[in-house]
């Protein structure tokens, strides 16, 4: 296993982190973790050098407003290894209504995880709305207090919004690390490469989530995409290409993988054992560009995210709605697309809020039939 320091924390973590969001299940019930199977996976990971384990309040729950079984299981599974690993969980930012709520959730999580402290604690899934709410509720005093009283060693945040919001959050506090969605398809999405480098320049460790886009980049690889991969001098499986792309960047501290099967754990550990920074050739980097370009040609909506259509009088986030519809067209994974849409797009921004006023269509330089396309988004992706 290879290790890197997480920014200014000075902590050396395995470049592969174990994301505990997609643990194996019994009878496909999200709240019924196959504990025997999952425990064996975690033990194998620990024995092979993986020292960072990431969970969150809603993991393995049917509802985002209810604590899931993820923290409970992780606390049980890691109890005997607590001194050997780094443990991370996250404040459910969207549920915080008062300053007291922050302490309430943290103390509840410490109890669920059966530990007296967390090595890494994140403000979860930050966007502009929740960030402004937390600032108004004095989140900075909370962060300072949890470090001072020893409940948390290092503080950071995970992020799902635009670069301008990301930069504002990074500049607002002396963060130690951040967590962003990033892969070879999403290197210009949300924080993107620009945000990754900005955070690293400010001394933050950068943790990557969704390295395989929920499995979309490796689950079913179209033949024409595979033909591009096969141009490489040294042949690799799509999962190895995706992970090596990330570890090739020296500004990335660690990549989280949400592993469901023992085979995933074994394969990822094997790849991580030889994935050094700056190890991809120029030819291989060009292959990534070709793959991305071909995937992008599958877009259903010719939206350039110029935002001439915004703001919508009804609050619909038109470009974001179209991005999710395009993702479905590219990867053909309705289950993951619906989950991501209904988890990361606020209901106030959903396509179904469109009343057909037509203001957006008059402003769109691409002449997209926005009203009809939003109807398609609502019909296809909303719960």
The string of pLDDT tens digits covering residues 117-157 is 999 999 999 999 999 999 999 999 999 999 999 999 999 99
Mean pLDDT of 7-21: 96
Tracing tokens 């005093």 back to the chain, one arrives at 141
How would you class 347 by CB atoms within 10 Å of its CB: exposed for 0-12, middle for 13-18, buried for 19 or more? exposed
Contacts of 352 (CB under 8 A, 6+ apart): 378, 382
The half-sphere exposure of 20 on its side-chain side, counting CA atoms within 13 A, is: 36
Backbone angles phi, psi at 179, to 5 degrees: -135, 125
Question: Residue 79: what pLDDT?
Answer: 96
pTM metric for this prediction: 0.86
Contacts of 295 (CB under 8 A, 6+ apart): 185, 225, 330
Q: How many CB atoms lie within 10 A of CB 136?
A: 9
d(CA 367, CA 283): 37
As a whole-number percent, the residues of the chain with pLDDT over 90 amount to 82
Q: Are 104 and 139 contacting, i.e. CB atoms less than 8 angstroms apart? A: no
CA 376 to chain centre: 26
Question: Residue 308: what pLDDT?
Answer: 83
How would you class 242 by CB atoms within 10 Å of its CB: exposed for 0-12, middle for 13-18, buried for 19 or more? buried
Mean pLDDT of 317-329: 93
Question: Residue 199: what pLDDT?
Answer: 98
Q: Domains for the chain: give ranges and CATH numbers.
A: 3-288 (3.20.20.100), 318-381 (no CATH)
The string of pLDDT tens digits covering residues 34-57 is 999 999 999 999 999 999 999 999
Please give the helix or strand (H or E) that residue 88 lies within, else none: strand 86-91
- In this structure, of 18-27, 62-71, 149-158, the range with the lowest mean pLDDT score is 62-71
pLDDT at 299 over 90: no
Q: Given pLDDT bands bounded at 50, 70 and 90, which one contains residue 246?
A: very high
Question: Residue 64: what pLDDT?
Answer: 78
d(CA 199, CA 178): 8
Question: Residue 32: what pLDDT?
Answer: 95
Give me the helices (H) in the chain, please.
Answer: 35-47, 69-78, 99-112, 128-136, 139-148, 163-172, 192-201, 223-229, 238-247, 262-272, 282-296, 318-331, 334-344, 359-363, 370-381
Number of residues assigned to the chain: 383
Q: Given pLDDT bands bounded at 50, 70 and 90, which one contains residue 174?
A: very high
Question: Residue 26: what pLDDT?
Answer: 93
């Amino acid at each position: 296993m290879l290790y890197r320091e997480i920014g200014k924390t000075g902590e050396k973590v395995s470049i592969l982190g174990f994301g505990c969001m997609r643990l194996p299940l019994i009878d496909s019930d999200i709240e019924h973790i196959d504990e025997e199977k999952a425990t064996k996976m975690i033990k194998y990971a620990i024995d092979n050098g993986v020292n960072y384990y990431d969970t969150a309040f809603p993991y393995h729950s049917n509802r985002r407003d209810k604590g899931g079984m993820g923290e409970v299981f992780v606390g049980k599974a890691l109890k005997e290894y607590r001194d050997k690993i780094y443990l991370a969980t996250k404040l459910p930012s969207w549920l915080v209504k008062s300053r007291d709520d922050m302490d309430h959730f943290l103390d509840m999580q410490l109890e669920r995880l059966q530990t007296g402290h967390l090595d890494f604690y994140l403000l979860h899934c930050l966007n502009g709305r929740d960030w402004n709410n937390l600032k108004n509720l004095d989140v900075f005093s909370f962060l300072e207090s949890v470090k001072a009283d020893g409940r948390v060693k290092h503080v950071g945040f995970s992020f799902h919004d635009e670069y301008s919001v990301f930069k504002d959050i990074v500049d607002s506090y002396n963060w130690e690390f951040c967590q962003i969605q990033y892969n070879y398809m999403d290197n210009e999405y949300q924080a993107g490469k620009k945000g990754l480098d900005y955070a690293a320049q400010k001394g933050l460790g950068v943790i990557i989530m969704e390295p395989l886009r929920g499995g979309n980049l490796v689950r079913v690889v179209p033949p024409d995409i595979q033909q591009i991969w096969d141009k490489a001098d040294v042949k690799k499986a799509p999962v190895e290409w995706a992970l090596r792309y990330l570890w090739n960047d020296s500004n990335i501290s660690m990549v989280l993988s949400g592993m469901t099967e023992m085979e995933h754990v074994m394969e990822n550990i094997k790849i991580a054992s030889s994935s050094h920074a700056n190890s991809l050739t120029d030819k291989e980097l060009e292959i990534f560009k070709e793959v991305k370009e071909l995937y992008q040609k599958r877009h259903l909506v010719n939206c350039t995210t110029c935002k001439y259509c915004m703001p919508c009088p009804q609050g619909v986030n038109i470009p974001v709605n179209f991005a999710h519809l395009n993702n479905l067209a590219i990867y053909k994974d309705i289950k993951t697309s619906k989950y991501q849409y209904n988890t990361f797009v606020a209901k106030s921004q959903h396509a179904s809020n469109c009343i057909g006023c037509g203001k957006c269509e008059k402003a769109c330089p691409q002449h997209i039939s926005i009203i009809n396309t939003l109807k398609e988004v609502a019909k296809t992706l909303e719960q």
